[in-house]
């Protein structure tokens, strides 16, 4: 690197086509010293107000950790160099000049980030391949994003990507972390499928919000990994690495062009034992009003049944029952009710039709009427 040069600036912006390091005319080429199997560890320190909520590490089997003391943040990046597949300059979608939120646009033989809603890569064969190791972080100080428990980070070898985002589906009762990525389908030799890796880190704060215990059994039962690509969704057999600060969710090998990786809770239907209760409800007899009766006079069961809108079939069994509180106002006299004292009494009439061969156990109907005694 030339004397006086510096690397203290971004060597390509988010959404821009990856290029060689060129901060302030400097260039740092580590290819003679590194191979795809070597491990890299980078520690950098800077002042900030909070730990980054969202980070992306472009690495193979990468990991990130953060510690903060006051406003002094220390970030540690570890992993192997990631092989990324790079589109040509003419195939690249320039976000600054070609931004377009139309998801139906074909973007034939183009690759990049045309929108903050999606990423695109319809390039079959990369123009170049490169070993790369870098990270991007994002810290929110105000607004809802600042309340998201961090640090959330992912490791990928995608050429283009959005920062991770947390989604909530209230109808399905699920929460998820998703990352949209894109890269050419094949490496520059035109035959080798471009494959890669994906790891998502869920900190303790997210697990608490999602109500997922940090145990192997709970993680397997309550979390799922999926990949959405070309309009279809497939499940993956993710593995979990538990640490003091959270859980790494590791996907098996993936391939490109524009997969969206998701780590989701399985929803209330999958995590809650549903108990079906068959309720036994006591239905109170319908109460109607019978004609008034004078003290010492009788009201027949036929009158009571008529007042209750009931029919007494031939051969039916009929019974009358007085409520305990009504016995000082009325009394039973055979198949009738007799007025005893001025007031009112409650009488329940029960009618059970005669049993037949077709209905050996007929249903008993009960209704209650209130009789006024004067």
Query: What is the pLDDT at residue 235?
Result: 92
Query: What is the pLDDT at residue 360?
Result: 83
Tokens representing 94 are 């320039």
Which ranges constitute the DSSP H helices of 73-131? Answer: 95-98
Residue (of 292, 285, 296, 310) closest to 341 by Cα position: 296
Query: What is the pLDDT at residue 58?
Result: 93
Residue with tokens 């780590």: 263
Query: What is the pLDDT at residue 269?
Result: 40
Strand order in the sheet with 336-339: 298-300, 336-339, 330-333
Query: What is the pLDDT at residue 291?
Result: 64
- What is the distance between the alpha carbons of residues 210 and 65, in angstroms, rounded to a whole number? 21
Tokens representing 118 are 């999606």
User: Who contacts 36 (Cβ-Cβ below 8 Å, separation ≥6)?
Assistant: 60, 80, 81, 83, 131
> Tens-of-pLDDT digits for all 374 residues of the chain?
455 555 545 455 667 777 666 554 445 666 677 788 899 999 989 888 888 999 999 999 899 999 999 999 999 999 999 999 999 999 999 988 999 999 899 999 999 999 999 999 999 999 999 888 888 998 887 777 778 888 999 999 999 999 999 988 888 888 999 999 999 999 999 999 999 889 999 999 999 999 999 999 999 999 999 999 888 899 999 999 999 999 999 999 999 989 999 999 986 544 333 333 333 333 344 444 456 788 888 888 888 888 888 888 888 899 999 888 888 889 998 888 899 998 888 889 999 998 888 788 888 988 888 888 88
Tokens representing 9 are 């600036």
- What is the distance between the alpha carbons of residues 331 and 325, in angstroms, rounded to a whole number? 11
Give the start-to-end residue ranges of the domains of the chain.
23-271, 287-373
Topology annotation, domain 287-373: Immunoglobulin-like (2.60.40)
Long-range contacts of 160-168 (CB under 8 A, 24+ apart): 160/15, 160/111, 160/112, 160/113, 160/119, 160/121, 161/56, 161/119, 162/113, 162/116, 162/119, 163/54, 163/55, 163/56, 163/136, 163/138, 164/54, 164/56, 164/200, 165/54, 166/206
Tokens representing 60 are 């193979």
- What is the distance between the alpha carbons of residues 331 and 222, in angstroms, rounded to a whole number? 67
Tokens representing 67 are 């510690």
- What is the distance between the alpha carbons of residues 12 and 22, in angstroms, rounded to a whole number? 9
Which ranges constitute the DSSP H helices of 103-177? Answer: none
């Amino acid at each position: 690197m030339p004397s006086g040069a510096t690397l203290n600036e971004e060597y390509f912006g988010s959404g821009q086509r990856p290029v060689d390091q060129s901060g302030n005319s400097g260039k740092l080429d580590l290819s003679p010293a590194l191979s795809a199997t070597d491990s890299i560890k980078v520690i950098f320190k800077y002042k900030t107000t909070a730990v980054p909520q969202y980070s992306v590490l472009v690495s193979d089997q990468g990991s990130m950790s953060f510690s903060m003391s006051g406003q002094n943040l220390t970030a540690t990046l570890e992993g192997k160099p990631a092989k990324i597949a790079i589109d040509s300059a003419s195939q690249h979608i320039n976000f600054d000049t070609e931004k377009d939120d139309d998801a139906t646009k074909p973007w034939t033989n183009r690759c990049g980030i045309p929108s903050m809603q999606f990423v695109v890569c319809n390039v079959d064969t990369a123009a170049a391949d490169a070993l790369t190791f870098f990270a991007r972080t994002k810290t929110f100080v105000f607004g809802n994003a600042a309340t998201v428990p961090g640090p959330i980070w992912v490791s990928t070898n995608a050429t283009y990507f959005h920062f991770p985002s947390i989604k909530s589906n209230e109808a399905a009762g699920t929460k998820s972390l998703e990352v949209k990525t894109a890269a050419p389908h094949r490496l520059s030799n035109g035959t080798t499928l471009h494959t890669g890796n994906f790891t998502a880190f869920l900190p303790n704060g997210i697990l608490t919000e999602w109500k997922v215990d940090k145990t192997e059994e709970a993680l397997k039962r309550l979390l799922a990994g999926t990949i959405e690509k070309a309009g279809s969704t497939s499940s993956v057999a993710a593995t979990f690495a538990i640490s003091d600060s959270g859980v790494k969710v590791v996907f098996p090998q993936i391939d490109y062009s524009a997969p969206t990786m998701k780590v989701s809770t399985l929803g209330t239907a999958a995590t809650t034992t549903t108990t079906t209760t068959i309720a036994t409800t006591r239905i109170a007899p319908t109460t109607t009003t019978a004609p008034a009766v004078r003290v010492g006079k009788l009201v027949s069961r036929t009158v009571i049944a008529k007042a209750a809108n009931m029919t007494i079939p031939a051969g039916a069994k009929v019974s009358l029952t007085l409520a305990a509180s009504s016995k000082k106002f009325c009394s039973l006299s055979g198949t009738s009710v007799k007025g005893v004292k001025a007031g009112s009494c409650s009488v329940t009439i029960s009618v059970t039709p005669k049993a037949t061969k077709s209905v050996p156990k007929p249903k008993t109907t009960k209704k209650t009427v209130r009789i006024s005694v004067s």
